[in-house]
Amino acid sequence: MTMPTRLGQAVKAHMQNGGVAPGPIVGHPRSGRWTFLIQPDLPDDVRLFAELFRMDVAVARAGATITLPSPTASAGAIRQWIVPPRNAFKPSGAAVVEAVRAWADQMPRTRRGSGTFHVG
């Protein structure tokens, strides 16, 4: 699940404050985006993807290829680890969606989507 860096920072903080490990996160410094590596447990629902799209969040479908940074990626690299993987853990996609929605609830209506799809 890829989103702007500022949103990614808020999502990571929300998850950690709620006791949910964010799992591995890849930073893309040149494009100003973060990618959360998640479990492929989100429903294949157009309404959900449209809601996330309105918040500038993209979801790669199960089986998509995601290029990861090298373990020694430097600060000037195209990709870098924000949170490197420590084991095989990846958070539920629903947990990341919940954190995105928590951020959206704090934003003025003009800056967020208005979808009402429930995950989980």
Cβ pair 78, 28 in contact under 8 A: yes
What b/e string do you get for 67-91 counting C-beta neighbours within 10 Å, with b at 16 or more?
eebeeebeeeeebbbbbeeeeeebb
Whether residue 115 is predicted with pLDDT greater than 50 in this model: the reply is no
Q: Tens digit of pLDDT for each residue in 7-44?
A: 999 999 999 999 999 999 999 999 999 999 999 999 98
Q: Is the pLDDT of residue 112 over 50?
A: no
- pLDDT tens readout for residues 66-101: 999 987 766 667 899 999 999 999 999 999 999 999
Which residues are within 8 A (CB) of 12 and not within 5 positions of it... i.e. 6 or more apart? 22, 25, 34, 82, 83, 99
